[in-house]
Chains A and B, each alone.
Chain A
Amino acid sequence: MRDSLERVLAPLGALVLFLGAWEGLTRGLAVPSYLVPPPSAVLTAAASEASLLLVGAITTGRAALIGFALSAVLGVLLAILLAASRLIERALYPYTVFLQTVPVVAIAPLLVVWFGPGLRAVAVSAFIVSVFPVIANTLAGLRSVDPALRDLFRLYTASRWARLFKLELPSAIPELVTGLRVASGLAVIGTIVGEFVAGFSEGSPGLGIVVLSSYRQLRTDLLFAAVLTASGLGLALFASVNLLGTLLLRRWHASELQP
């Protein structure tokens, strides 16, 4: 009980101290609000522009979710394909690394050309940024199946499908969850970057657009509020993946064991 109370109170206390110091310093040193707004100004901006931020969160969240889902599905499928044979892995894996290294800001205009501005291009941007950790981690999981269990499946002449669904994929779940955790944060980052280039400013603008327009108007308080909302989105996605991982693994995997 004391432990769980401390678990909540300790970070909360740190936050209050941090915000207090921030508020005190910006006021005390009379820092102009367009440079660093005090937390109270950010809060006020967030309250007065609540509907703008909410719409932004929904638009950005939807694009991030679509990109993340694409990463999860296509990433796992690609990992299965790469794990199917050494030859396929050798032929294709170097190009999946390309997905990791491609500067998405630079190719975002290309995405607009291919997919048109708006949701599709933004979601593809989120996908490109977040798919690699899913592929790499799932592949590592598929490759590190206990060799004795492989022997066991061979002994009972298990089919390729039985091996995949009853041995390799379940073995890879811990690594897959790790990949999804990393991908969840990256998907939101990819969405914001995609919106900078490919987002609509009319209709229901995403948080990336809110960031851009408040920057142009030097509304730093609103900019802070939009960035925090975007972080909150990433956090929510991350927490959902964590919950999924706990549900999947709690009965058997060391990473989720209760002390």
Chain B
Amino acid sequence: MEKGCRSRIHAEPYERMSPPANPSASSEPPERANGLPTRRTTGIGITLTAVRRFFKTGVEAIAPLDLAIEAGAFVAFLGPSGCGKSTLLRLIAGLDQPNEGSITFPGGPAKRALAFVFQDPHLLPWRRVLENAALPLELTGIGKPERTERALAVLEEVGLADAAQRFPRELSGGMRMRVSLARALVTEPDLLLLDEPFAALDELTRRHLDDQLRALWQKRGMTVLFVTHTLSEASYLAERAIVFSKRPARIVADRRLTLPAERNFSIRSTPAFLAEEQALYEALVRGEGA
């Protein structure tokens, strides 16, 4: 897989690339106004071994599940509503514990940085955009000058530098979601988990954010797990799509998408794209009947 190759080139975790050494820097204008280079990560791999989760009521959310996700992958999780995709994401984030089995992060740095983007932006309404984006750094004890600088840089990355001093309620839904994304990215995570992040947005805003997310992934190289309901969004964004059955979640299909790395709106009408979408659709139908 191409991602794997790229990961091996930048094998040093937490290496700060100087701009000339960054292959993308020569072709693109500098991304950050303050001259900070974007840190590339190799991402981290995830191994789930016989993970099982059931709730107090006895409902089984996740049937014993084995899954390996390679470092730096962009993986979409698909499945019917309430099938346990979100539970799985929470288990991987450590916000919930499995009843059986284990989740390990082979080869990752000892101190993992991971970030979670929720279905809704969930910003602190009493804080300005800048202070919202800087929150994770603040909570991990990073001093004010550094966290302000880094939050401004990441806001610029998502196109919100002008809105830094505004309050969340003064923003549109799409802008709030971008603040949420900026907040997740500000710690430069090795693993980014997104739980149907753009589901509530209009189609145009969503596609714009999809493009932004994919560009950020290509630039930074973190592992991305993306839960979605939308087949076209999954095929457009991901390198690999995993389709789950209805509850308890089992894997119905695990596809590596054979699509070019550079994606734009014209890809959506190519036969290869439509074929991937169709294959995912068939898997979803199989999972519904399982």
Contact = CB atoms under 8 A, between A and B. Distances in A.
A146 B180 CA distance: 15
A27 interface: no
A248 to B, nearest CB: 9
Interface string A140-171: 00000010110111111110001000110010
Nearest to A173: B126
Contacts of B114: 155
A174 B140 CA distance: 27
B116 A152 contact: yes
Contact of B122 (A148, A166, A173, A251): A148
B126 A170 contact: yes
Given A146-B122, A252-B126, A156 B136 contact: yes
B122 A152 contact: yes
B93 A155 contact: yes
B147 to A, nearest CB: 12
B59 interface: no
B125 A253 contact: yes
Interface in B87-122: 90, 93-95, 114-116, 118, 120, 122
Contacts of A146: 122
**What class of interface size applies to chain A in its complex with B?**
20 to 34
Contacts, number: 49
A170 B132 CA distance: 14
B122 A157 contact: no
A155 B122 CA distance: 14
B281 interface: no
Given A154-B95, A158-B139, A252-B168, A149 B122 contact: yes
A201 B150 CA distance: 65
Interface of B: 90, 93-95, 114-116, 118, 120, 122, 124-126, 135-136, 138-140, 167-169, 187
A156 B95 contact: no
Contacts of A155: 93-95, 114-116
Contacts of A167: 124
Contacts of B94: 155
B125 A156 contact: no
Contacts of B167: 251-252
B102 to A, nearest CB: 20
Given A155-B95, A157-B140, A252-B126, 18 more contacts: A146-B122, A149-B122, A151-B95, A151-B116, A152-B116, A152-B135, A154-B95, A155-B94, A155-B114, A156-B139, A156-B187, A157-B139, A166-B135, A173-B126, A251-B126, A252-B125, A253-B125, A253-B126
B149 to A, nearest CB: 19
9 contacts: A151-B118, A152-B116, A152-B118, A152-B122, A155-B93, A156-B135, A156-B136, A166-B135, A253-B125
8 nearest CB pairs, A to B = A156-B139, A252-B125, A148-B122, A158-B139, A252-B126, A148-B118, A156-B136, A170-B126
Contacts of B169: 252, 257
